[in-house]
Amino acid sequence: MLNEEADVSRVDPNVKDTPSLIASDRVEGTRVYGADGKHIGSIERLIIGKQDGRVAYAVMSFGGFLGIGNDHYPLPWEKLTYDTQLDGYRIDLTKEEIENAPSYADDDDNWYNDNSRRIYDYYGVPPYWM
């Protein structure tokens, strides 16, 4: 039998967003728009540092059909700006510029270890670990 005090202290998993905070499951699936205002893709997942809890990347996916064959592009979180008018994120690049960015396949387990610096260099922002 559960302790009533423990029940009271439980956190509601359906936390509502605040003006400055959003739950990760609400970020996943959010559309990303380019500098030209055109829809590029959607956030598929967030990559979070185990030790510091900082968002390192938002992985954007596009291409493919019904989720099969999508291309995956890690975007430094700092490159994304939430646009309330679009109810999505903006990035200061076009789809064509993103297509030339570092990307990976689902089956490449060491990709982040080998390419983290390359991602930040491509987007011209300091790495999250600095």
Task: Please provide the DSSP assignment of 7-75 as one string.
Answer: HHHPPPTTPPP-SS---HHHHTT-EEE-TTS-EEEEEEEEEE-TTT--EEEEEEEE-SBTTBS-EEEEE
Residues in the chain, how many? Answer: 130
Q: How far is CA 94 from CA 4, 35, 51, 79, in A?
A: 53, 6, 33, 13
Domains of the chain: 19-123 (2.30.30.240)
Interatomic CA distance for residues 72 and 45, integer angstroms: 10
Interatomic CA distance for residues 24 and 106, integer angstroms: 20
The predicted model scores a pTM of 0.76
pLDDT tens digits along 91-115: 999 989 998 998 876 656 667 777 7
Q: Supply the pLDDT for residue 116.
A: 80
